[in-house]
Each structure stands twice: as C-alpha cells, then as structure tokens.
C-alpha cells in the first residue's frame, strides 16, 4: 500500500487517525522497548498497513508469535495479501475484544502489547475497558507500549496499571509520545477481575 492509498483509507475512516504510516525512525525507537533476543508473544493493536509488523517480523525469533488486531477492513485485506508468515495471525476485531481471538492459554501470558490505536478517540469507559483487557492478557512483568499523539493516556494508564515511562519522538508526522507501561500486579490497582464496559 502506497502513502496515497494510506491517505485514502484515512479519508474513509477517521479512526485511522494518521495521514501516513509511522516513520521508520519512530518504528525503530518504539521497538527499542522490546527484547528481540528472547521468544515472545506480542499483540499489536492497529497495525494499519504493517509498518511495525514487518519490522517486528524481521527482528523476532522463529519461536515468537505476533497477533494483529485491526479494526479497518481495508487494512486487514492489505495485511492478508502482503504478510505470509506462520508466526502471524491477522484478526479483524476491535482492541477491546482482543480476548475473543486469543487462545485461553494466551490470556495472561502475553509478553508485549504494542498499540497505535488512537485512544483519544475512545470514550472514557471504552478507553478504560481496552486498558483493562490489555492488563488481563499481559503476563506479570509484560509490557504495554503505546505511541500516542498526546498525554491523554497518562491518567487512565495510572489508574489501571499504576506506572508509566514516557518519551517523545518529534520527528514523525504526527509527533508521538511513547508510553512504556509494565504490568505489575503488586504495584497497581487490581483491574484484572473488572469487566470495564
Ligand atoms: C495511527 S494508525 C497506525 C497505523 C500503523 N500502526 C502505523 O504506525 O503506521 C491507527 C490504526 O489503528 C486502527 N484502529 C483504530 N481504532 C482501533 C481499534 N479500536 N481496534 C483496532 N484497531 C484500531 C486504525 O484502523 C489504524 O490502522
């Protein structure tokens, strides 16, 4: 998919939230938060046309698994056409419904959730429900890594996870804040048993 096709998808679906894919510089910076020397299970919310996905597949081990969660059907078609890798599964569901596509034994055992979805577009309850589902699927010590256009996630992330680190990537359109959040059942509110919305 070209940058022009990405832009057309944005025009049809404002939840795409960005006019062009994330820059490779920003992809690399976000992915410094991932340890590629180990096998892992990573869930990606909002892969779009797969700019992160392809980088992850190049770097991750043969034993690692990548589960894509994408709401936009055009992007899902594009991903199905361009990504042929037995380590990947492509799912046309909303991030808040992630548990419906995981195997039961994957829930609570995911190492990373990487997210590019525009949380600022979600209503407060929905945002919280996505964060709670994310916390539930992560293992203890697993990481939620999100690139976002503003600091609006700080408060809900603190409420659900109780921690975050943040850094800024200015050289992207749009500039992104990169959140690095750890699931730590001792240090955060116990959200795992709550249903959200
Ligand atoms: C800002 S784009 C990021 C695309 C790509 N990851 C990149 O970095 O270029 C946001 C993506 O999230 C998807 N998206 C938005 N809301 C979503 C949701 N609730 N669940 C799953 N995907 C969603 C959009 O369709 C789009 O692909």
Residue-wise pLDDT tens digits, 27-39? 999 999 999 999 9
Q: Collapsing DSSP states into helix, strand and coil, what is residue 77? A: helix
| Candidate from 13-27, 36-50, 51-65, 123-137 with smallest mean pLDDT | 13-27
Task: Give residues (CB < 6 A) around ligand 1.
Answer: 15-18, 21-22, 45-48, 51-52, 69-72, 75, 94-95, 116-118
Peptide bond into 80 cis (omega under 30): no
- The residue whose C-alpha atom lies closest to atom 24 belonging to ligand 1 is 16
Residue bearing the CA closest to ligand 1, atom 4: 48
> Which is more confident, 150 or 94?
94
Question: What's the 170 CA to ligand 1 centre distance in angstroms?
Answer: 20
pLDDT above 60: residue 13? yes
CA 186 to ligand 1 center in whole angstroms: 31
103 vs 66, 106, 130, CA distance in Å?
Answer: 13, 5, 18
For 49, the token pair is 């046309």
pLDDT at position 9 is 86
Atom of ligand 1 nearest to the CA of 13: 25
Per residue in 89-129, pLDDT (tens digit) is: 999 999 999 999 999 999 999 999 999 999 999 999 999 99
pLDDT above 80 (res 187): no
Predicted confidence at residue 104, as pLDDT, reads: 96
How far, in Å, is the centroid of ligand 1 from the Cα of 8? Answer: 14
The radius of gyration computed from the CA coordinates of the chain, to the nearest angstrom, equals 16
Task: Point out which residues pair with 114 in neighbouring strands.
Answer: 44, 145
- All structural domains of the chain: 3-182 (3.40.50.150)
CA-122 nearest atom, ligand 1 = 19
Q: What's the predicted TM-score (pTM) here?
A: 0.93
Atom of ligand 1 nearest to the CA of 48: 27
Band the pLDDT of 45: cuts 50, 70, 90: very high
């Amino acid at each position: 998919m070209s940058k022009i096709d990405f832009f057309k998808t944005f025009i049809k679906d404002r939840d795409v939230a960005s006019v062009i894919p994330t820059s490779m510089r920003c992809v690399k910076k976000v992915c410094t938060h991932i340890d590629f020397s180990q096998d892992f299970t990573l869930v990606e919310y909002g892969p779009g046309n797969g700019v992160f996905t392809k980088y992850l597949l190049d770097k991750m081990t043969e034993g690692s698994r990548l589960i894509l969660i994408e709401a936009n059907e055009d992007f899902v078609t594009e991903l199905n056409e361009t990504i042929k890798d037995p380590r990947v599964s492509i799912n046309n569901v909303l991030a808040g419904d992630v548990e419906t596509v995981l195997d039961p034994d994957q829930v609570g055992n995911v190492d990373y959730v990487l997210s590019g979805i525009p949380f600022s577009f979600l209503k407060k309850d929905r945002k919280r429900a996505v964060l709670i589902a994310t916390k539930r699927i992560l293992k203890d010590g697993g990481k939620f890594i999100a690139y976002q256009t503003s600091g609006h996630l700080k408060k809900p992330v603190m409420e659900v996870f109780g921690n975050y680190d943040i850094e800024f990537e200015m050289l992207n359109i749009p500039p992104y804040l990169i959140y690095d959040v750890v699931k730590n059942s001792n240090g955060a509110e116990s959200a795992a048993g709550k249903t959200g919305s």
